[in-house]
């Protein structure tokens, strides 16, 4: 009987050790960072399969970049642009979906967000060594090519046609959002329930943090250096995407030209907003809306957000006033007294 008792005891000890190792594996943390899609991307994931999941995620991000980048003559977007005014071009389901979503937001914002802004973007090239201020006549010559209504999609054949010569697509205002959503999907497929995804400012807080509390995401101070924040938002299973004039800009003499261009004028948007953060479940929506709200301005931007389901925003205006939609106010904490949360 004693031998049997010892045997059972050893079995119980082995079982406890096994369970302990299993739980420990659940808390394994993996981190990976790469420069993709023109920005620095970093993901921290927690779970048994976190390292394998991150490898799969970054392979997927590279695939998305190869299809949608403006910086390659072999991308699908480059192929579509090369055939502007000539013929439709077949694209992958990825690219088709992102263009379709971009056109949805172009329609929703009456063209304030317009993926056909590429000819103007190429004139300015803000954020690159070739950045310059185009002559007014250069901008005027390109404006007729900015027209989301001149894009034809064929869902059956998965083709995209820019019907007018000189047109061009630029998915820079929405592709990173799609990439973030794809990253989340892959992490979940690998059983990862906790992760913090940062794709160049497109944040996705998956699950809770290692302490089983909501992730605490800082809202960048638009008047200070990077990593200085004016507020903290608690987030769980949602994305936060911020747009602001401070992100990329060109300074000539005493004039600053930022990278958020107004499709109607061809010039940097004249907005009363310093920065806008959109909080949503899907990053593709938050990405497009952050640009849209910045161009629309505070009043019209808030009206747009309030008309949409499951979308929240935090807007900082040029008077350092902070405007927060109802669904985010109770988890927003202002930490810099220079900024005031408005009622």
Q: How confident is the model at residue 254, as a pLDDT?
A: 80
Q: Which of 315, 332, 301 is nearest to 233 (CA)?
A: 332
81-127 pLDDT, tens digit per residue, is 999 999 999 999 999 999 999 999 999 999 999 999 999 999 999 98
Q: How is 214-233 classified by DSSP, letter by letter?
A: -EEEEEE-TTS-TT-EEEEE
The listed range with the strongest mean pLDDT (22-26, 132-136, 245-249) is 132-136
Model pTM?
0.90
What's the pLDDT score for residue 32?
97
What are the tens digits of pLDDT across the range 39-75?
A: 999 999 999 999 999 999 999 999 999 999 988 899 9
The structural domains of the chain, with segments of one domain joined by +, span 71-162, 214-341
Alpha-carbon span 282 to 197, nearest angstrom: 13
**Cα 73 to chain centroid, rounded:** 24
Structure confidence at residue 2 (pLDDT): 40
Share of the chain above pLDDT 70, in %: 92
Lowest-confidence pick of 137-146, 220-229, 332-341: 220-229
pLDDT value, residue 3:
43
Q: Which residue has the tokens 């090369």?
A: 82
What is the rounded distance in angstroms from the CA atom of residue 64 to the CA atom of residue 236? 25
Query: What is residue 258's predicted lDDT score, i.e. its pLDDT?
Result: 85
Q: Which of 60, 86, 210 is nearest to 152 (CA)?
A: 86
Confidence class for position 1, pLDDT limits 50, 70, 90: very low
Q: How confident is the model at residue 250 (pLDDT cuts 50, 70, 90)?
A: confident
Q: Which of the residue ranges 66-80, 252-266, 296-310 would you say has the lowest mean pLDDT?
A: 252-266
Whether the CB-CB separation of 238 and 205 falls below 8 Å is answered with yes
- What mean pLDDT, rounded, does the chain reach? 91
Q: How confident is the model at residue 17 (pLDDT cuts 50, 70, 90)?
A: very low
C-beta of residue 151 within 8 angstroms of C-beta of residue 99: yes
Of the pLDDT bands very low, low, confident and very high (cuts 50, 70, 90), residue 230 is very high
Q: What is the pLDDT of residue 246?
A: 76
Q: What is the pLDDT of residue 25?
A: 53
> Is the pLDDT assigned to residue 263 strictly greater than 90?
yes
Q: What is the pLDDT of residues 157-213, one digit of tens each?
A: 999 999 999 999 999 999 999 999 999 999 999 999 999 999 988 999 999 999 999
Please identify, in words, the CATH class of the domain defined by 214-341.
alpha beta
**Fold for domain 71-162?**
T-fold (1.10.3980)
Mention every residue, 6+ apart, whose C-beta is less than 8 A from residue 128.
none
313 pLDDT band (50/70/90 cuts)? very high
- CA atoms of 242 and 282, how far apart (whole Å): 14
């Amino acid at each position: 009987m004693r031998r049997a008792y010892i045997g059972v005891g050893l079995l119980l000890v082995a079982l406890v050790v096994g369970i302990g190792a299993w739980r420990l594996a659940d808390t394994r943390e993996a981190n990976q960072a790469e420069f993709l899609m023109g920005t620095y991307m970093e993901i921290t994931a927690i779970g048994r399969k976190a390292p394998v999941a991150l490898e799969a995620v970054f392979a997927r991000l590279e695939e998305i970049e190869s299809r949608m980048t403006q910086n390659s003559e072999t991308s699908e977007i480059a192929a579509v642009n090369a055939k502007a005014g000539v013929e439709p071009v077949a694209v992958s389901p990825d690219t088709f979906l992102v263009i379709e979503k971009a056109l949805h937001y172009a329609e929703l914002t009456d063209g304030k967000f317009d993926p056909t802004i590429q000819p103007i973007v190429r004139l300015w090239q803000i954020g690159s060594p070739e950045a310059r201020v185009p002559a007014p006549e250069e901008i005027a010559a390109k404006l007729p090519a900015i027209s989301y209504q001149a894009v034809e999609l064929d869902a059956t054949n998965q083709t995209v046609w820019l019907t007018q010569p000189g047109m061009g697509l630029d998915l820079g205002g929405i592709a990173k959002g799609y990439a973030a959503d794809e990253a989340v999907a892959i992490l979940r497929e690998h059983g990862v329930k906790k992760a913090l995804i940062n794709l160049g400012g497109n944040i996705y807080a998956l699950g809770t943090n290692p302490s089983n509390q909501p992730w605490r995401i800082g809202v960048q101070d638009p008047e200070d250096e990077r990593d200085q924040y004016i507020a903290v938002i608690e987030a769980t299973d949602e994305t936060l995407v911020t747009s602001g004039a401070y992100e990329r800009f060109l300074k000539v003499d005493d004039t600053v030209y930022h990278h958020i261009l107004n499709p109607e004028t061809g010039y940097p948007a004249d907005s009363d907003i310093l920065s806008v953060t959109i909080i949503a479940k899907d990053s593709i929506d938050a990405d497009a809306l952050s640009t849209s709200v910045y161009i629309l301005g505070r009043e019209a931007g808030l009206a747009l957000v309030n008309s949409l389901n499951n979308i929240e925003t935090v807007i900082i205006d040029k008077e350092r006033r902070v405007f927060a939609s109802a669904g985010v106010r109770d988890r927003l904490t202002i930490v810099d007294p220079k900024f005031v949360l408005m009622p």
